[in-house]
């Protein structure tokens, strides 16, 4: 004989959350709808969020969407899914979005930094806004044109069409690298530059060039590379075997390029950092997986995503979005040292 099925446990309601937090349902609605600032104290908002988490409360987004006429969904466009930086940007954006009952759809542009295709029949019908990381505004025309709010991350601040921008102080990061290597005594540099047509890499090249030009007796060569370990290896081999004095420092646009440069040095019988200093950029997990560990620039990717989603929410609610660049930090590890005394 079949035993009678047990009824499914009742789904917690906003009334349950209000009762647990000791507030009204209106307060729960304000807090979980992201409209509490200036109306509810931070302590009360956190109590409501904690009660919702403890109860496992999830608002009925379908009903809310019908009521508001919105999907409460943002699209995060990135050049690639395989790069750790963009995964961390997504983590930050999704964390803020979850606190406001928003969803974030991660979408890699099929052509990298090139024009992004509309992933839906009509992005305008499926989305409330777009966040784009390390892209150009003109590459996003298919995603609703100017009809959807657009927040740009790590992108050209002179680009038109964005409702808000969140940038990293990329130029300062490269200046920190240059100043560190110059202080160690290096004067012969090669820039292993990412062969990617984007604002962030153009800024790195310009900042390095300007920082080194200010110090007499320095030289700088540039070799371009695909943004992958094998590309960095080939570019570094070419730089280290080119006619003329060998560089004592390779400044790489990314940690993956720096990892390739370290491999190239070993293949040529050079020791890092005794014979050659190598620096990276991004501070990926890879930076501490190689030996020696990489001197690199740490980028607060999660904070970029958090700030980007917060800016989009502000735009959607008609509030001013927070602007300004996030600071970056040089992390000195074992791949840089003074140049050999005999060079």
Phi, psi of 331 (to 5 degrees): -115, 110
Q: What's the CA gap between 216 and 228, in Å, rounded?
A: 33
222 and 252 inside one domain: yes
CATH code where residue 42 lies: 1.10.260.40
pLDDT at position 163, please? 83
Q: Write b or e for each residue in 257-285: b if 16 or more Cβ atoms lie within 10 A of its Cβ, otherwise e.
A: bbbbbbbbbeeeebebbebbbbbbbbbbe
For residue 157, what are its two tokens?
């601040």
The answer, yes or no, to whether the previous bond of 273 is cis (omega within 30 of 0) is yes
Q: Is 334 within the bounds of a domain? A: no
49 and 30 inside one domain: yes
CATH code where residue 74 lies: 3.40.50.2300
82 and 194 inside one domain: no
pLDDT at position 119, please? 54
28 and 89 inside one domain: no
Average pLDDT per block of 10 residues along the chain, 343 residues long: 50 82 82 74 88 78 45 84 88 91 81 50 66 70 62 82 88 98 98 91 96 95 94 96 95 97 97 97 95 97 94 87 89 97 68
Angle, helices 25-32/42-55, rounded to nearest 10 degrees = 90
131 neighbors 75 (Cβ within 8 angstroms)? yes
272 and 195 inside one domain: yes
Q: Is 32 within the bounds of a domain? A: yes
201 and 264 inside one domain: yes
For residue 279, what are its two tokens?
């620096």
Q: What's the CA gap between 195 and 231, in Å, rounded?
A: 10
29 neighbors 14 (Cβ within 8 angstroms)? yes
Q: Tell me the CA distances in angstroms from 225 to 68, 115, 236, 239, 255, one per residue in order.
A: 48, 22, 9, 11, 13
Q: Is 155 within the bounds of a domain? A: yes
Q: Is 231 within the bounds of a domain? A: yes
Q: Tell me the CA distances in angstroms from 274 to 14, 192, 266, one per residue in order.
A: 63, 19, 12
Q: Is 1 within the bounds of a domain? A: no
174 and 287 inside one domain: yes
Residues 6+ positions from 340 with CB-CB distance below 8 Å: 248, 274, 275
Q: What's the CA gap between 161 and 49, in Å, rounded?
A: 35
177 and 293 inside one domain: yes
- DSSP secondary structure letters along 86-135: HHHHHHHHHHHHHHTT-EEEEEE-TTTTSPPPPSSS-HHHH-SEEEEES-
List strands edge to edge, sheet with 73-78: 103-108, 73-78, 129-133, 150-153, 164-168, 325-326
Q: Which domain holds residue 307?
A: 66-167+300-326
Q: What's the CA gap between 287 and 298, in Å, rounded?
A: 10
197 and 217 inside one domain: yes
Q: Is 218 within the bounds of a domain? A: yes
153 and 127 inside one domain: yes
143 and 195 inside one domain: no
pLDDT at position 56, please? 81
The position carrying tokens 């280290």 is 240
User: What is the total count of domains within the chain?
Assistant: 3
205 and 175 inside one domain: yes
Q: Is 244 within the bounds of a domain? A: yes
For residue 259, what are its two tokens?
């990892």
Q: Is 337 within the bounds of a domain? A: no
pLDDT at position 177, please? 98
């Amino acid at each position: 004989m079949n035993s009678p099925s047990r009824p499914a446990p009742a789904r917690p309601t906003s009334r349950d959350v209000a009762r647990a937090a000791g507030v009204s349902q209106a307060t729960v609605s304000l807090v979980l709808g992201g409209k509490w600032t200036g109306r509810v104290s931070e302590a009360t908002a956190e109590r409501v969020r904690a009660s919702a988490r403890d109860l496992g409360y999830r608002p009925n987004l379908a009903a809310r969407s019908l009521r508001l006429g919105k999907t409460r969904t943002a699209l995060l466009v990135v050049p690639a899914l395989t790069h750790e930086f963009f995964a961390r940007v997504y983590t930050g954006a999704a964390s803020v979005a979850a606190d406001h009952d928003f969803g974030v759809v991660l979408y890699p542009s099929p052509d990298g930094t090139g024009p992004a295709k509309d992933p839906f029949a009509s992005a305008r019908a499926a989305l409330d806004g777009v966040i784009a990381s390390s892209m150009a505004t003109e590459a996003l025309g298919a995603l609703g044109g100017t009809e959807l709010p657009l927040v740009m991350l790590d992108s050209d601040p002179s680009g038109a069409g964005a409702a808000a921008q969140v940038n990293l102080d990329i130029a300062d990061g490269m200046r920190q690298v240059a100043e560190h290597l110059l202080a160690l005594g290096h004067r012969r540099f090669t820039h292993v530059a990412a062969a990617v047509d984007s604002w962030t890499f153009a800024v790195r090249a310009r900042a390095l060039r300007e920082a080194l030009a200010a110090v007499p007796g320095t030289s700088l060569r540039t070799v371009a590379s695909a943004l992958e370990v094998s590309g960095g290896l080939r570019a570094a081999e070419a730089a280290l075997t080119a006619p003329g004095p060998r560089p004592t420092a390779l400044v790489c646009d990314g940690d993956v390029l720096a990892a390739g440069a370290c491999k190239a040095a070993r293949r040529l019988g050079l020791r890092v950092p005794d014979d050659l200093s190598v620096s990276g950029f991004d501070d990926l997990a890879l930076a501490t997986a190689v030996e020696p560990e990489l001197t690199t620039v740490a980028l607060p990717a999660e904070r970029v995503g958090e700030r980007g989603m917060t800016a989009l929410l502000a735009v959607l609610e008609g509030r001013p979005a927070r602007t300004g660049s996030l600071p970056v930090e040089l992390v000195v590890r074992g791949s840089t040292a003074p140049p050999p005394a005999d060079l």
